[in-house]
Structure 1
């Protein structure tokens, strides 16, 4: 009897990363106004986590390939990253994607939130003006798919602040 082994390989991860970079419908969502529990202890994110109690979404302003680089200007969890071109990423089968957006002033409601997420395939409601770069949950007819979810202690948004949300997605 013969032996056979199958596994996804670097090309699969690079393909998924490339698909994310080439997708135009990428948003960063915020949600979860209510406390996590009585003591507001932040739960770990699981594979089935979703963006709870969506508040709103901001269209991603940067969706780019990145690589670890000790001299890089992007810092996430004490690791430095550098943006590279799609061509470089394809040659090296890169599997990391940087996703970022600014939320400014009154683009989204000035409320506290405990979750952020990268969301794709968001569908705007019919009454929502096309081309909007920030939408509230009420302006959405389908909340799409959460690709990455971050649970955290509350962030208190005010109308006079700017907020930079960024993620490194690893496939």
Structure 2
């Protein structure tokens, strides 16, 4: 529970996209699966960019909740209620607009905490390109998938519930 509250209180949490090159030559075969991520991973391969999380909430499973994630409903709660209930889940969400990051293929999604921008980049900047980053920080979650193509005219919403 304390780890969830600590993560919730962090200001510099980002979703990141990476890995433009194919996993394998047969990547487009219907039976292809992306490789499992390494527990040793500390970064994404071929980082495309990062977007600061727009929404961050402590949550608990609740049939009358307003957040639906992986076929379960969740309810937002305060840190005080999280302590009372022993809650250890954090919901995060970010929207990436077409102009935010390059419209390219990606195969990795990461969640980073404690990201540090370069000295000449405002800490208020929500979009970070690789040249804007002094330290990617701590890779909290890594998801590897089949190729996804970002379109030049789309908005992508990334959301996740992390259990601590």
TM-score (norm 1): 0.86
Which of 152, 164, 171 is the aligned partner of 2:157?
164
The unaligned stretches of length 5 or more in structure 1 are 1-13
Q: CA deviation at 1:103?
A: 0.4
Q: CA RMSD, aligned part only?
A: 1.4
Which of 98, 104, 109 is the aligned partner of 1:105?
98
SS at match of 1:17: helix
SS at match of 1:54: coil
Q: Tell me which moved more, 127-136 or 144-153.
A: 127-136
Q: Which runs of 4+ in 1 moved over 3 A?
A: none
Q: Tell me which moved more, 66-75 or 95-104.
A: 66-75
SS at match of 2:106: strand
Which of 24, 30, 36 is the aligned partner of 2:17?
30
1:116 aligns with 2:103: no
Aligned residues: 158
> How many Å separate the matches in 1 of 2:65 and 2:143?
23
Q: CA deviation at 1:46?
A: 3.5
The structure whose Rg is larger is 1
| Alignment correspondent of 1:52 | 45
| Alignment correspondent of 1:132 | 125
The unaligned stretches of length 5 or more in structure 2 are 28-32
Query: Would you say the 8 A contact 2:52–2:94 is kept in 1?
Result: yes
| Alignment correspondent of 2:75 | 82
Query: Would you say the 8 A contact 1:107–1:135 is kept in 2?
Result: no
| Alignment correspondent of 1:4 | none
